[in-house]
Structure 1
Amino acid sequence: MKSSIRRSRRAATAVVLGSVLALTATACGDDGSGDAGGKGDEGSGKGTITFWDNNGGVRTDVWKQIIADFEKKYPDIKVKYVGVPAASVQSKYDTAIQGGGLPDVGGLGTAMLAEVAVQGAVEPLDARLSKSPLNGKLNEKFLESVKAAGGDDKTYTVPTSANNGTLWYRTDLFGAAKLDPPTTWTTFYTAADKLTDKGKNRFGYTIRGGEGSIAQALDATYGQSGITSFWNGDKTTVNDPKNVTALEKYVGLYKKDTPSADVNNDFTKMVAQWDSGSIGMLSHNLGSYADHQKALEGKFKGIPNPTLDDGTRVQVSNPVDGLALFKSSKHKAAAWKFIEFAASHEANSKWNETAGQVPANTEAAQDSWVQSSEPTKLAAEALNGASTKIVQLPYYLPDWNTISKADNEPNFQKVLLGKMSAKEFLDTLAEQLNKAQADWKKNH
């Protein structure tokens, strides 16, 4: 009920704001199409552009290096950097779309692309890309993910990087316990049990129970069940009996092989806890590599999520990060130069080496640091491996973020605490997803 109320409010707001924007655009000599913030202008190719970093604070330093390099190459263009924390970037974009003040360029991952694109705020980049030096130098799978996420097969961002689910494990603790690396789900659960000694405050695993828990739980669920598609026709497979059984086993780790405080873990708490404690394993992604290097150098490894016993790896899709050009920009030519520069070989390699993620630029992906960074190399191989099956999450659904965060993160905590069954949780999630899919198909 709360979801439908929220959708109705959003639809009503969009209608009102669309009318306001159309009137404003017409008054300014635009064509009155109602695009968020107006249609903008190519500009002179010079001047000052504004860039929103969608992971401000975490990636600020490397972006400032890239901006300095860009301004050296293009002295007639200045870049105003605005760092937006990842946790608040969606609301900041929504507010700016409704009230004005969008940047010229902004970081935008596939997980929130549909909601921004459906409001007419970002410009399709296919024509620009076809004439760009970047043409043919961007990972095709990343481009496919961007097109799928937009919902209409258009390229709304230039991809810059992809993350991958990673199982980090303490090689020193595994060695002392004479355990095999947790490369399969069988060895993963064996290690979680054997490394737990509650009396000594040692645990085999730390589970994500707070913000961001749903995608990680789905990764573990599909990874164990072996189901390779999110949809069976127009109905989701999320509550398939095999997935129910898999989720029951996964949440069974809580408090048995994990700290009880994990119920409130977001990624920062989880990573900090693993880096400073005596916990055997952590499921996160490549983004925390640098943190682990500082805290545990030489005592850990990162591998792709476990496989089934037959070697098949099933994992859910990870968001592809990218750069969007906003329709309201008055400096599109200069903004596009910045996007091209940031996605070029040298800059894309520099950014991804800092983040420890997989570069979107195919030349950058061949650089020596990728080959020497074992977690990144293994992630790249897993993403392209023949035995890896990717379950594409429905980022294109406008309600995906609401369903996978606000609506169900509290429910997942109830499952961990034993107040809701895994089946009830997945059935609730499935009902919401099926409705969202039906609504989406009705409009497409």
Structure 2
Amino acid sequence: MRTSTGHRDRGRRTATAVAMATVLALTGAACGDDGSGDTGNEGSGKGEITFWDNNGGPRTAIWKEIIKDFEAANKDIKVKYVPIPITDVQSKYDTAIAGGGLPDVGGVGTAYLSGIVAQNALEPVGARIKDSALNGKLVESMVEGVRTAGGRGDEMYSVPTSANNGTLWYRTDLFKAAGLEAPKTWDAFYTAAEKLTDAEKNAFGYTIRGGAGSVAQALDAIYGQSGITTFWNGDKTTVNDPKNVAALEKYVGLYKKTTPEADVNNDFAKMVAQWDSGTIGMLSHNLGSYQDHVKALGEEKFAGIPNPTGPGGTRVQVSNPVDGLGLFKASENKAAAWKFIEFAASHESNSKWNEAAGAIPANTDAAKDSWINESEPTKLGAQSLTDGSTKIVQLPYYLPDWNSITKADNEPEFQKVLLGKSTPKAFLDKVAGELNEAQAEWKQQNK
């Protein structure tokens, strides 16, 4: 039974999207183009393959270096490199699935992996991994993230290459001046947020994300505090578990008390800029903003750690999107394409790529390389994902409505909570209701 007009609309959107994907798949098969109906071929393992970089521009230089290395080691294979802006990549894939022109290999993030899998455009890679040098060499939490995001049981539809771990950045100079230890526990976090706040001097203990991306950050904060380690309890989400409600009540209680009032509208760019240029004690973001902090503050005035630990010393974080490489089903030279994926995900290449990108390697040998230790936040982030000390709550990126539920539909609702116009319980109950409905619809469609 639908509980709101919004739910009915989302149900119609989901049904329409699935129907369209089916039509496009059938059309591709009938036309014999590169769409989801084409199963491609293994090919000779030689010749030219096309690679789409899903973050073309920022990562172009390092990809060209890896491609040069690959071609030197595989003289009978050439790689055509195509940089795709990260803002366009999902639509580019959808267009190519519908009308042809898919690459042999493409960068695929877990945030949109399920949509490509649903259109039957990606080749399963689990068996290929088992028969390759990558077997047993991929960080398990990233493997699980990719597997879950694909939405088809235990099968994998991309080879994980990197993750960008959530990080609590803190100003070491301000902490030292206030006689505070690093905020390694949630109790220490709240103590520091209060002690570092002096609103009359425009000094605040924390900056909270109230604009775009706010729901994802709030989920990380509440699961981190509650200690709940699973997103689903049967077919119902744990989002509105009483422990999570209590955690959100405490978290949003920081707004305007120990945070700037402007935070209600701040996305990550504004939040990061505000932290870099002011006297705010702590910021929750990810490793991607490290270089921004270095430029603004220098390396001596800040540090970063993964989520604080809760009671009993357990650290819980929600899954961050995992980047990876997909082998497209329409490829006419899958053997050569797989050689490139295997090379790019190998120890040396994966280490080189992640060092340049400032991300955490998916290759377990690369995650032990010396450069990881040169940046304490990256070192701690890598350890948290590889040594078993962190429990990862896998978010259901496989749900077609995941992005709409956690972004457009409910970011304005989170702002209402910050402004006191709604309650944390009402907010989490709304989100949970929509997620439960989306899960039920997804299960029905995937029987």
More deviation, 244-253/130-139:
130-139
* Alignment partner of 1:51 is 2:51: yes
* Alignment partner of 1:220 is 2:221: yes
SS in 1 for 2:313: coil
Given the superposition, is the C-alpha separation of residues 242 and 333 from structure 1 closer, same or farther in structure 2, using an over 3 Å criterion?
same
How far, CA to CA, are the matches of 1:292 and 1:138 in structure 2? 30
How far, CA to CA, are the matches of 1:25 and 1:133 in structure 2? 34
* Alignment partner of 1:315 is 2:317: yes
Provide the residue aligned with 2:84 in structure 1. 83
Q: Is the 8 A contact 1:37 1:97 kept in 2?
A: no
Give 1:215 shift.
1.8
Provide the residue aligned with 2:117 in structure 1. 117
Aligned length: 439
Given the superposition, is the C-alpha separation of residues 197 and 410 from structure 1 closer, same or farther in structure 2, using an over 3 Å criterion?
same
How far, CA to CA, are the matches of 1:12 and 1:279 in structure 2? 46
* Alignment partner of 1:26 is 2:25: no
SS in 1 for 2:323: strand
Letter paired with 2:225: Q
Give 1:171 shift.
0.5
Q: Is the 8 A contact 1:399 1:436 kept in 2?
A: yes
Match of 1:435 among 431, 437, 447: 437
Given the superposition, is the C-alpha separation of residues 58 and 190 from structure 1 closer, same or farther in structure 2, using an over 3 Å criterion?
farther
Give 1:241 shift.
1.9
Q: Is the 8 A contact 1:274 1:282 kept in 2?
A: yes
* Alignment partner of 1:286 is 2:287: yes
How far, CA to CA, are the matches of 2:267 and 2:102 in structure 1? 28
Give 1:386 shift.
5.1
* Alignment partner of 1:161 is 2:167: no
* Alignment partner of 1:176 is 2:177: yes
Q: Is the 8 A contact 2:55 2:83 kept in 1?
A: no
| Residues 14-39 of structure 1 deviation map (CA, whole Å, 9 limit, x = unaligned) | 435533542443343x8xxx962622
Q: Is the 8 A contact 1:48 1:80 kept in 2?
A: no
Given the superposition, is the C-alpha separation of residues 228 and 24 from structure 1 closer, same or farther in structure 2, using an over 3 Å criterion?
closer
Give 1:149 shift.
2.0
Matches within 5 A, 1:41-440: 41-75=41-75, 76-85=77-86, 87-152=87-152, 153-296=154-297, 297-385=299-387, 387-440=389-442
Provide the TM-score with structure 2 as the length reference.
Answer: 0.90
Letter paired with 1:223: G
Given the superposition, is the C-alpha separation of residues 249 and 344 from structure 1 closer, same or farther in structure 2, using an over 3 Å criterion?
same
Q: Is the 8 A contact 1:109 1:322 kept in 2?
A: yes
Q: Is the 8 A contact 1:37 1:102 kept in 2?
A: no
Q: Is the 8 A contact 2:175 2:182 kept in 1?
A: yes
How far, CA to CA, are the matches of 2:50 and 2:382 in structure 1? 32
How far, CA to CA, are the matches of 1:122 and 1:332 in structure 2? 11
How far, CA to CA, are the matches of 2:162 and 2:245 in structure 1? 32
Give 1:123 shift.
0.9
| Residues 241-273 of structure 1 deviation map (CA, whole Å, 9 limit, x = unaligned) | 221121121112222222222223222222232
Give 1:114 shift.
1.7
SS in 2 for 1:333: helix
How far, CA to CA, are the matches of 2:20 and 2:110 in structure 1? 27
Give 1:408 shift.
1.5
Letter paired with 1:205: Y
How far, CA to CA, are the matches of 1:360 and 1:384 in structure 2? 9
Given the superposition, is the C-alpha separation of residues 100 and 209 from structure 1 closer, same or farther in structure 2, using an over 3 Å criterion?
farther
How far, CA to CA, are the matches of 1:72 and 1:386 in structure 2? 37
RMSD, aligned α-carbons? 2.4
Given the superposition, is the C-alpha separation of residues 117 and 268 from structure 1 closer, same or farther in structure 2, using an over 3 Å criterion?
same
How far, CA to CA, are the matches of 2:442 and 2:14 in structure 1? 15
Given the superposition, is the C-alpha separation of residues 23 and 161 from structure 1 closer, same or farther in structure 2, using an over 3 Å criterion?
closer
Give 1:47 shift.
4.2
SS in 2 for 1:108: strand
How far, CA to CA, are the matches of 2:48 and 2:18 in structure 1? 30
| Residues 289-312 of structure 1 deviation map (CA, whole Å, 9 limit, x = unaligned) | 232223322211111111124322
How far, CA to CA, are the matches of 1:10 and 1:438 in structure 2? 12
How far, CA to CA, are the matches of 2:280 and 2:371 in structure 1? 28
How far, CA to CA, are the matches of 2:301 and 2:402 in structure 1? 37
Q: Is the 8 A contact 1:234 1:438 kept in 2?
A: yes
Q: Is the 8 A contact 2:94 2:116 kept in 1?
A: yes
| Residues 370-418 of structure 1 deviation map (CA, whole Å, 9 limit, x = unaligned) | 2333212212322345553322222232322222222212221222222
Provide the TM-score with structure 1 as the length reference.
Answer: 0.91
More deviation, 262-271/416-425:
262-271
Given the superposition, is the C-alpha separation of residues 380 and 188 from structure 1 closer, same or farther in structure 2, using an over 3 Å criterion?
same
Given the superposition, is the C-alpha separation of residues 36 and 3 from structure 1 closer, same or farther in structure 2, using an over 3 Å criterion?
farther
Letter paired with 2:318: V
Structure 1 unmatched runs, 5+: none
Give 1:339 shift.
1.2
Q: Is the 8 A contact 2:28 2:35 kept in 1?
A: no
